[in-house]
């Protein structure tokens, strides 16, 4: 079998499976985000929807960093798996996960320390700023959970278990959808209830993904400080440009939000609704971009194996 034929035969099926399962999971989370705004709007206060818009602008930036880190983990692990080097796959997974954890904790601490300043930067003022601050104060500490969950999802796709990656995000969406009305209305927690539901949803995604990676696929290796230092260059060679690429969008979104803020909270509330409708529409495109990394890593590794055979 030639290299070209080897690459061409499974590629279409692999893209369809990876992107479709990822699209279902991602779309579920986007729909739940839309439900957040819907439930908050039922309380009849424009400030609540506007506060969610300001808060999501900051939250979008933090999670984009996690997306960049997950791209690096998925690409590195998939290449090792494609080369049938399970020992290397475990090593790269563990070291990439540690980098993800450390980076997300650092970002969470910095953002948490400057929540009022960041909200002022995007134009939030008065009671709306106070509501957004309450939301972020609850949500930001859970950043390591969602960043690790995304990284673990990348690892699951790297080993070909796209179904479990999808199920973890679906479970998170389900948890959020069920708890939102309970916390917001039944417990009268308002926007803080929406934040608490999101935190528990993030933890649910993390637990299911971690169980799949550690127990089902046994990708957890042993930590070695020397190997960790050696892998840092490889990890950040992919993670750094991926993070910079992904934070470009939330930075642009923050600039637009700041411009809209000059027109008042009702305009920001409308922008928040629009910001949650667009991702639902383009869920498949987002999923396709997430499927390319693990796929390309396997192709490169297996192509090299064939060339050397």
Nearest to 101 by CA among 74, 75, 67, 66: 66
Q: Which two tokens stand for residue 111?
A: 């953002």
**Cα 253 to chain centroid, rounded:** 17
C-alpha–C-alpha distance, residues 55 and 192, integer Å: 12
Q: pLDDT digit string (tens) for 173-196?
A: 899 989 999 999 999 999 999 999
Cβ contact 100:147 at 8 Å: yes
User: How confident is the model at residue 19, as a pLDDT?
Assistant: 64
C-alpha–C-alpha distance, residues 117 and 119, integer Å: 5
Whether the pLDDT of residue 291 is over 90: the answer is: no
Under DSSP, the state recorded for 141 is G
pLDDT band at 22 (very low <50, low <70, confident <90, very high): low
Please tell me the pTM assigned to this model: 0.85
C-alpha–C-alpha distance, residues 214 and 205, integer Å: 14
pLDDT band at 1 (very low <50, low <70, confident <90, very high): very low
Q: pLDDT digit string (tens) for 259-285?
A: 999 999 999 999 988 888 877 776 666
C-alpha–C-alpha distance, residues 282 and 103, integer Å: 28
Residue 87 burial (CB count, 10 A): 9
More confident residue, 131 or 75: 131
Distances (CA, A) of 169 to 34, 47, 99, 132: 16, 29, 22, 25
- 44 phi and psi, to 5 degrees? 80, 15
User: How confident is the model at residue 71, as a pLDDT?
Assistant: 84
């Amino acid at each position: 079998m030639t290299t070209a034929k080897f690459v061409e035969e499974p590629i279409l099926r692999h893209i369809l499976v990876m992107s479709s399962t990822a699209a279902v999971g991602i779309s579920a989370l986007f729909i739940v985000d839309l439900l957040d705004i819907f439930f908050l709007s039922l309380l009849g206060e424009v400030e609540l929807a506007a506060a969610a818009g300001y808060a999501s602008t900051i939250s979008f930036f933090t999670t984009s960093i996690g997306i960049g880190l997950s791209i690096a983990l998925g690409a590195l692990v998939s290449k090792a798996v494609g080369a049938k080097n399970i020992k290397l796959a475990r090593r790269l997974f563990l070291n990439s996960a540690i980098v993800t954890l450390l980076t997300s904790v650092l970002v969470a601490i910095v953002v948490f320390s400057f929540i009022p300043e960041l909200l002022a930067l995007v134009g939030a003022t008065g009671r709306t700023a106070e509501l957004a601050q309450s939301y972020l104060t609850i949500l930001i500490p859970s950043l390591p959970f969602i960043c690790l969950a995304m990284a673990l999802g990348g690892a699951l796709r790297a080993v070909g278990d796209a179904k479990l990656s999808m199920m973890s995000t679906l479970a998170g969406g389900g948890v959020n959808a069920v708890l939102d009305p309970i916390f917001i209305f039944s417990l009268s927690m308002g926007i803080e209830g929406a934040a608490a539901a999101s935190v528990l949803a993030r933890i649910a995604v993390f637990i299911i993904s971690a169980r799949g990676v550690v127990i089902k696929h046994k990708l957890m290796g042993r930590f070695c400080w020397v190997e960790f230092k050696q892998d840092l260059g490889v990890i950040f060679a992919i993670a750094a440009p991926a993070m910079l690429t992904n934070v470009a969008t939330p930075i642009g979104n923050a600039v637009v939000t700041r411009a809209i803020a000059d027109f008042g909270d009702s305009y920001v509330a409308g922008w928040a609704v629009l910001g949650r409708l667009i991702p639902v529409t383009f869920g498949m495109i987002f999923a396709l971009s997430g499927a390319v990394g693990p796929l390309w890593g396997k192709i490169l590794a297996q192509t090299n194996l064939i060339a050397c055979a």
